[in-house]
Amino acid sequence: MNQDSIRAGQLPFQSSVGRPRPDGFLAENRLYCGDSRSLLRRIAPETVALSFWSPPYFVGKSYEKHLSFEQWRELLASVIRLHFDIIAPGGFLAINIADILAFPDPDMPRIQADNISAKKSGITREQVLSAKAAHPDFNRYRLAELLGCSEQTIDRRLNHNNVRGGKYAPQTKVKLVGGLVQEWAEDAGFFLYDRRAWVKDPCWENSRWHSLSYRAIDEFEYVYIFWKPGISVIDRNRLNREEWSEWGSRAVWEIPSVRNNSEHEAQFPLELPRRVIRIFSGKGDLVIDPFMGLGTTAVAAIREERRYIGIDYIQEYVEKAAARIALESAK
């Protein structure tokens, strides 16, 4: 099968709207398999009202393990840059992404923690120092025998080597991503128009302890909305009064996350693209997703009576998305 594109007739999905374009540009209401950096160049200029997508987060998922941080940066910057020509003036680029919470930094000093609440032994550093002063010829094994603890306890009390993340792996830190995305988008010609915070329901909410450190657990992501200069259509009738009040004009969206990620490691819930599509596009507009995964954005576009183009470089995901869209279209 051609890896540049998967056409409707080759998959269990036949679009009733999409037709091959005589000008060579990608047809609408189709799914394509290939590198977004190649396929975005084949979308007709200034035809996209909204692009909504969630790129690799650089957190070690299987589909991104081959990327170095520099390659990840270049991928996202390139895809953002390629959007400027295809988004219509006044149109929007919406990116769902999270900060990197465990970014390896070999130059960062080791975080050493005296985690008193997690200690299994009551032996204190002062006791070890006192025993060592009384028996300067004792090694840590003899000190452990004297104090009735393990030699690891002696080592930890003497050297403060309760190192988060292991003794040999690079120390990790939080890497903020929003500023990078804004920089890449503004370099391409977009302007940051809005941002929303998506609060996911924590599956760990019934756990007593979430972490061995003071770091917060991961329970929210961002949606950054960028605007291409031009006239934007403002239609308050896209949402009713209750929808505007409950989420349309709210900066924080509480949407349950996808519980079962067996078919894809990083699905987002249908409600997330549905809201963005409702606010930032109109019926009949073209919505695209260059990191389509299982086709959630396309399904949301169909439900909201928009046209779509979906792209993913993993053929298995494209085929699953096509089957999903076929079921949606048959309703």
Tokens 């988008």: give the residue. Answer: 185
Residue 228 covered by a domain = yes
Give the range of the structural domain holding residue 82, as residue numbers without chain letter: 8-104+175-203+217-329
Tokens 């003899």: give the residue. Answer: 142
Tens of pLDDT, residue by residue over 6-57, are 333 333 333 333 445 778 899 999 999 999 999 999 999 999 999 999 998 8
- Quote the CA–CA distance of 128 and 177 in Å, as a whole number: 44
Residues 265 and 297 placed together within one structural domain of the fold: yes
| CA dihedral sign, ordered 288, 286, 234, 78 | positive
- Quote the CA–CA distance of 114 and 308 in Å, as a whole number: 54
Residues 136 and 43 placed together within one structural domain of the fold: no
Residues 154 and 49 placed together within one structural domain of the fold: no
111-115, 294-298, 308-312, 327-331: which range is least confident on average? 111-115
Residue 1 covered by a domain = no
Mean pLDDT of 199-213: 60
Between 114 and 171, the higher pLDDT residue: 171
Token output for 147: 């104090």
- Residue 204's pLDDT band (boundaries 50, 70, 90)? low
pLDDT > 90: percent of the chain: 56
Residues 146 and 186 placed together within one structural domain of the fold: no
Asked if 96 and 268 count as a contact pair (C-beta separation under 8 A), the reply is yes
Number of domains in the chain: 2
- Quote the CA–CA distance of 33 and 187 in Å, as a whole number: 28
Q: What are the start-end ranges of the H helices in the chain? A: 36-39, 69-86, 125-134, 140-147, 151-159, 178-188, 241-243, 271-280, 296-303, 315-329
DSSP notation for 142-172: HHHHHHTS-HHHHHHHHH---BTT-SSSPPE
Backbone φ and ψ of 51, nearest 5°: -115, 120
Residue 20 covered by a domain = yes
Tokens 């439900």: give the residue. Answer: 303
Residues 179 and 310 placed together within one structural domain of the fold: yes
- Quote the CA–CA distance of 192 and 40 in Å, as a whole number: 21
Residue 276 covered by a domain = yes
Residues 88 and 122 placed together within one structural domain of the fold: no
Cα separation of the two ends of the chain: 29
Which DSSP symbol is given to 50?
E
Residues 314 and 224 placed together within one structural domain of the fold: yes
CATH of the domain at 21: 3.40.50.150
Residue 169 covered by a domain = no
Between 151 and 192, the higher pLDDT residue: 192
Tens of pLDDT, residue by residue over 57-116, are 887 777 777 889 899 999 999 999 999 999 999 999 999 999 988 888 788 877 655 555
Tokens 């909305």: give the residue. Answer: 225
Mean pLDDT of 203-208: 51
**Sequence-distant (≥ 6) Cβ neighbours of residue 71 within 8 angstroms:** none
Residues 40 and 138 placed together within one structural domain of the fold: no
Three-state helix/strand/coil letters over 53-106: ECCCCCCCCHHHCCCCHHHHHHHHHHHHHHHHHHEEEEEEEEEEECCEEEEECC
Residues 190 and 234 placed together within one structural domain of the fold: yes
- Quote the CA–CA distance of 142 and 123 in Å, as a whole number: 15
Q: What is the pTM of this model?
A: 0.78
Residues 123 and 243 placed together within one structural domain of the fold: no
Closest among 48, 22, 12 to 310, alpha carbons compared: 48
Residue 40 covered by a domain = yes
Residues 192 and 287 placed together within one structural domain of the fold: yes
Residue 109 covered by a domain = no
Residues 229 and 317 placed together within one structural domain of the fold: yes
Residue 289 covered by a domain = yes
Tens of pLDDT, residue by residue over 254-274, are 998 876 665 655 678 999 999
